[in-house]
Amino acid sequence: MPKQKTRKSIIRRFKVTKTGKILRRRSGTRHLRVKKSSKQKRRLRNQVRVKSTYAKKLAKVMRIRKRK
């Protein structure tokens, strides 16, 4: 049986920290920024942790092993 390939598109969209947490970008940053407040745009710049239920699925697809 062939090896499971890592999904390169997912690796580009998500960042893994040294502790193994998966970060994602917030949605709503691409266009229509004029109507958004400065506070909202500033908040959209930061990355956010992925929820644990999705993180398990992403880690499996990204072929990440948890550190012990």
**pLDDT per residue over 12-31, tens digit each?**
899 999 998 999 999 999 99
User: Would you say residue 31 lies in a domain?
Assistant: yes
Nearest to 58 by CA among 25, 16, 17: 16
Q: Is the pLDDT of residue 68 over 90?
A: no
Confidence of residue 52 (pLDDT cuts 50, 70, 90): very high
Does any domain span residue 48?
yes
2 falls within a domain: no
Return the residue matching tokens 């506070």: 39
Buried/exposed code over 15-51 (b: 16+ C-beta within 10 A; e: otherwise): eeeeeeebebeeeeeeeeeeeeeeeeeeeeeeeeebe
Domain range for 14 is 8-62
Residue 47's CATH number: 4.10.410.60
pLDDT at 51 over 70: yes
Structural domains counted in the chain: 1
Is residue 45 scored above 80 in pLDDT?
yes
Give the integer Cα–Cα distance in Å for 23 and 42.
Answer: 17
42 pLDDT band, cuts 50/70/90, is very high
Asked whether residue 3 is assigned to any structural domain, the reply reads: no
Of 4 and 33, the one with more pLDDT: 33
Query: 25 in a domain, yes or no?
Result: yes
